[in-house]
Structure 1
Amino acid sequence: MTELFSRFLTFSRAEWARLRDEAPMALSAEEVARLRTMGDRLDLAGVEEVYPPLSRLLAMHVEAAQALFQARRRFLGDTGTKVPFIIGIGGSVAVGKSTTARVLQALLSRWPRTPRVNLVTTDGFLRPNVELERRALMRRKGFPESYDLPALLRFLSDVKAGAHLVRAPVYSHLTYDVLPGEAAVVDRPDILILEGINVLHAGAPPHGGQNVPFVSDFLDFTIYIDAAEEALAGWYVERFLALRDTAFRDPQSYFHRYAKLSDAEAIETADALWQGINLVNLRENILPTRVRADLILRKEENHQVEEIALRRL
């Protein structure tokens, strides 16, 4: 990884853990278990060695951004309020983005100057299934073209403008669709964490010299969670098997038809979904954004972060 990321400083897990200093660590084993999403094997030791140094680094960035904002406000004679610091978390399906986002939200909210930390996922900005079906995009769900990008950009623009009560659509993993009329409300938090597979995607430049913003233009700090393809494939299959025995059994589940599959049938189905959809998206759209991140968390097959790469200033 060192050769590939020459623009990054790389740390082993032990080296990174020594950077914790006075970072607050107030998560119990029970809290870690509650924050952990299905299939993730994060434990208290993993949290203590990786996430307090990261929350300390992020708190420094937030404080520096707030100081710069105050200085610029004085320069302009502006009386406006501070704007939220937005952290983007990207990476493959099944890599553990949700767990990372939730742990960081819990830790950052313990810093004295960042008590209000909101978390929004980009899943809510997927186009509704009926629209994806009309556009023949159901097999491309999760690819960049399956998102309502204008809506996501409007949301981020309003948040960055310091608007009150900004609404984000909500996604149901049970029905595998956006929930009509449901919304998460963001009201000028100190920090907003935006989690999603394509938050670092820039897309192709438009023709004609038009200026088109990207999601990453609104992000103040970005994190990419990385793992080998073989590990990701294994985690995806494991999660599919766990869901078959839990959420898929709900008659309201979009995937209820998979609930009665045998182990062999479930593994074959999950592998086909991984190979035909998620791996393609990873290689074409997600993995190429890795080098755009400010920080990369590299996971090994045991789901533990063993290497951290921090972009050089």
Structure 2
Amino acid sequence: MSLSENSEFNGPFQEFEREHWKGLNGDFSYRFTAGDLEYLSALNEPLNISEIEDIYFPLAHYLSILIQQHREAHSTVNRFLNQDTAHLPFILGIAGSVAVGKSTTARVLQKVLSMLPGKPKVDLVTTDGFLYPNDTLINRGILNRKGFPESYDAKLLLQFLAAMKTGVCEFQIPVYSHLEYDILKNEVQTIAQPDILIVEGINVLQVSPTKENTVFVSDYFDYSIYVDAAEKDIIDWYIKRFESLRATSFQNKSSYFHRYADMSQPESNRMATTIWNEINGPNLHQNILPTRYRAGLILQKGSNHFIEKVKVRKV
């Protein structure tokens, strides 16, 4: 059975309208500053205090319950096995289409979760860092499939997650530059024993077994979130973001996309539409959208980029 984007399938999910969801938070509150909002906001993705208070405070409260359960289970199992192993990070996966706003969701959650009682250490990793370098993609003839499953070093990503779940003190992972559109050769991100680890990327809920690999990224997740929206809205956001980038970062001569800098707005819109139709759209339908109902929670956005509904898997 396949599920189309327009399917009314709710399966094992409870659906909460925004007004209902925001009333579920009982005790999580924090005063955000203009500086906080500026840091957390992304290009062409509106973010305001109401979105944080109505959506992310209750979500942080909900996740705090799951995190506490995770810690209690670890302690209980330790006692049963007569062991005294250190606690392992709670790993949260965040998936969704290109341009849907999952990076903003990840940053906001990193901020609000770090304010939970005890001030846990929350690290954020994006799977962009696990893309193969452009030289490798070119040699394999798949540079135009960047973002598709085969463009990622899945083995390294799985090694990293396994290390986190076995208590490795620290692990260095590659860093990706959107300006250079490539992995940075002399830069790494060091992840050292976080209490909570957020892993964000379009591919984190995908399952594509091969003879060499029957373990999936999501096998290491303690919980997962899918950021969702109607495709027509995502396309509109992608085109607008492309135009904004053309007028800003693409103007930088170091940018991989500097060749687009002198385009007119109509030319920019046509180019963005072509890229969507040839790369991002097919990837969404073939590899990303089919994973939506594997998530524990779905954030459903409206055309204004704000979340209208929250769907929570029944427990």
TM-score, with length taken from structure 1: 0.96
5 Å matches for 1:198-237? 198-203=203-208, 205-206=209-210, 212-237=214-239
C-alpha separation in 1, matches of 2:139 and 2:213: 29
What is the one-letter code of the residue matched to 2:289?
A: L
- How much identity, in percent, do the aligned residues show? 46
Greater Cα offset, 179-188 or 254-263: 179-188
* Match status 1:74 vs 2:76: no
Instruction: Note the alpha carbon deviations across 1:272-310, whole angstroms, 9 max, x for none.
Output: 001110000000000000000000000011001001100
5 Å matches for 1:251-262? 251-262=253-264
For residue 45 of structure 1, report the CA deviation from its aligned partner. Answer: 0.9
For residue 42 of structure 1, report the CA deviation from its aligned partner. Answer: 1.7
For residue 260 of structure 1, report the CA deviation from its aligned partner. Answer: 0.5
Greater Cα offset, 73-82 or 285-294: 73-82
1:293 aligned partner? 295
C-alpha separation in 2, matches of 1:258 and 1:249: 8
1:303 aligned partner? 305
* Match status 1:152 vs 2:157: yes
Two-structure CA RMSD over aligned residues (Å): 1.3
C-alpha separation in 2, matches of 1:149 and 1:183: 17
For residue 27 of structure 1, report the CA deviation from its aligned partner. Answer: 2.0
2:304 is paired with a residue whose SS is: coil
TM-score, with length taken from structure 2: 0.96
Instruction: Note the alpha carbon deviations across 1:247-292, whole angstroms, 9 max, x for none.
Output: 1011110000001000111000011001110000000000000000
1:37 pairs, out of 28, 31, 42, with 42
* Match status 1:244 vs 2:251: no
2:66 pairs, out of 61, 67, 91, with 61
For residue 31 of structure 1, report the CA deviation from its aligned partner. Answer: 1.0
1:50 aligned partner? 55
2:274 is paired with a residue whose SS is: helix
Greater Cα offset, 159-168 or 60-69: 159-168
1:138 pairs, out of 134, 143, 148, with 143
Distance 1:35 1:211, change over 3 A: closer
Is the CA contact 1:87–1:191 (under 8 Å) kept in the aligned structure 2?
Answer: yes
C-alpha separation in 1, matches of 2:10 and 2:38: 32
1:103 aligned partner? 108
Distance 1:206 1:132, change over 3 A: closer
What is the one-letter code of the residue matched to 1:17?
A: K
Instruction: Note the alpha carbon deviations across 1:137-166, whole angstroms, 9 max, x for none.
Output: 111100011000000000000011111121
What is the one-letter code of the residue matched to 2:273?
A: D
What 5-or-longer segments of structure 2 have no aligned partner? 1-5
For residue 211 of structure 1, report the CA deviation from its aligned partner. Answer: 6.7
What is the one-letter code of the residue matched to 1:179?
A: L
For residue 9 of structure 1, report the CA deviation from its aligned partner. Answer: 0.2
C-alpha separation in 1, matches of 2:65 and 2:278: 41
What is the one-letter code of the residue matched to 2:295?
A: A
1:126 aligned partner? 131
C-alpha separation in 1, matches of 2:57 and 2:7: 23
C-alpha separation in 1, matches of 2:213 and 2:36: 44
For residue 44 of structure 1, report the CA deviation from its aligned partner. Answer: 1.2
C-alpha separation in 2, matches of 1:198 and 1:32: 27
For residue 37 of structure 1, report the CA deviation from its aligned partner. Answer: 1.1
For residue 41 of structure 1, report the CA deviation from its aligned partner. Answer: 1.0
* Match status 1:87 vs 2:54: no
Instruction: Note the alpha carbon deviations across 1:121-152, whole angstroms, 9 max, x for none.
Output: 00000000000001111111000110000000
* Match status 1:184 vs 2:217: no
Is the CA contact 1:2–1:10 (under 8 Å) kept in the aligned structure 2?
Answer: no
Is the CA contact 1:12–1:307 (under 8 Å) kept in the aligned structure 2?
Answer: yes
C-alpha separation in 2, matches of 1:143 and 1:2: 24
